[in-house]
Amino acid sequence: MKKTTGVCLLACVVSFVASAAGATQKPVEPIAPATGTNEAKAELGKKLFFDPRLSKSGFISCNSCHNLSRGGTDNLKTSIGHNWQQGPINSPTVLNSSMSFVQFWDGRAKDLKDQAGGPIANPGEMAFTHDLAEEVLQSIPGYVTEFKSVFGKEKINIDQVTDAIAEFEKTLVTPNSRFDQWLEGDKEALTADEQAGYKLFENSGCISCHYGMGMGGGSFYKMGMVEEYKADSPSEGRKDVTGKEEHHFMFKVPTLRNVELTYPYFHDGAAQTLTEAVDTMARHQLGKKFSRAENGQLVAFLKTLTGDQPRSRSPPCRLQATRPRNPNRLSKAVQGL
């Protein structure tokens, strides 16, 4: 089956069934380290990623829900945002998200920059506004200097904020997993069980959806291709974006990189363990039931996909002062928070 870059329609489903039967396979590739990074911009983006002052409460940063020491997720069934509101959907990892063809489970953001403005202004997440975020950043001298040196402008705007965050996120790749070492020729890197797990992954059709460098992130597929899946979340997947019935319950195939760390699984966070997630995938996507031994081999294989994690030391304390020192420089709206 050829690489799907959009929503997979009926013809694609038919060809998928052929490929699931082992007719064709998509390749997986080792992760290449990030290249071409604008270091200064990424460094600024890192500070913003960790900065709770971009939220209304002053408590929530991107890292709250995409914790870089927890595989880029919050390990919650669904995320908790402003005022302890429980969100409707599981937080996907930000690790390797630069490899995805679109962002969000339903693909409503076209790239990382487009995505990054969303959570700041989402009332259920950081609950701020873009205007207030600009104003707060403009009131912090360290940021003014740094934005100026990166973007060459006196005035900070949200476009620069999302640009910098996206540049940082592009550095969050995780090369050098044991599986990648094995793909690159180190035959000792995987045990016999793990290799058997990869064979099952190829031969039973997992790879037709979880392919490419990210082993996911390349297409939308219906959750419940063979057996209907009843979700705990109200999301209708891609249909929420296009309004089309045929897109009902289609989700972006998630990356399987670092999947050992990114529990719980699925858009509704319903599966607690990899054993459960593999069992669900087999039944709902492939109409299969793996034996305990096979499931164990697949899980063992999935655990070899954990790569080098980004070093996530908090940014230096120069920008870590709490609220801006001179509140008189802020508008009433900001002071009233």
Kindly list the catalytic residues. Answer: 125
CB of 107 or CB of 324, closer to ligand HEC? 107
**Cα–Cα distance, 325 to 316 (Å, whole number):** 18
DSSP string, 44-102: HHHHHHT-GGGSSSS---HHHHSBTTTTTB--SSS-B-GGGPBPSSPPPP-TTGGGSSS
Single-letter code of the amino acid located at 86: Q
Closest CB 294 distance from ligand HEC, rounded Å: 9
**Cα–Cα distance, 76 to 224 (Å, whole number):** 23
Closest CB 182 distance from ligand HEC, rounded Å: 17
Query: How do strand 250-252 and strand 220-222 relate by DSSP bridges?
Result: antiparallel
Closest CB 117 distance from ligand HEC, rounded Å: 8
CB of 151 or CB of 170, closer to ligand HEC? 170
DSSP string, 295-312: HHHHHHHHGGG--PPPP-
CB of 44 or CB of 209, closer to ligand HEC? 209
Can you say whether residue 165 is alpha, beta or left, with left for phi > 0 and alpha for psi between -120 and 50 degrees? alpha
CB of 217 or CB of 324, closer to ligand HEC? 217
The residues that touch ligand HEC, with contacts defined as CB under 6 A, are 16, 49, 60, 62, 64-66, 79, 81, 87, 89, 91-92, 94, 97, 100, 103-105, 112, 115-116, 119-120, 125-126, 165, 201, 204-206, 208-210, 221, 223, 225, 251, 253-254, 256, 259, 262, 265-267, 277-278, 281-282, 285-286, 298
Closest CB 188 distance from ligand HEC, rounded Å: 24
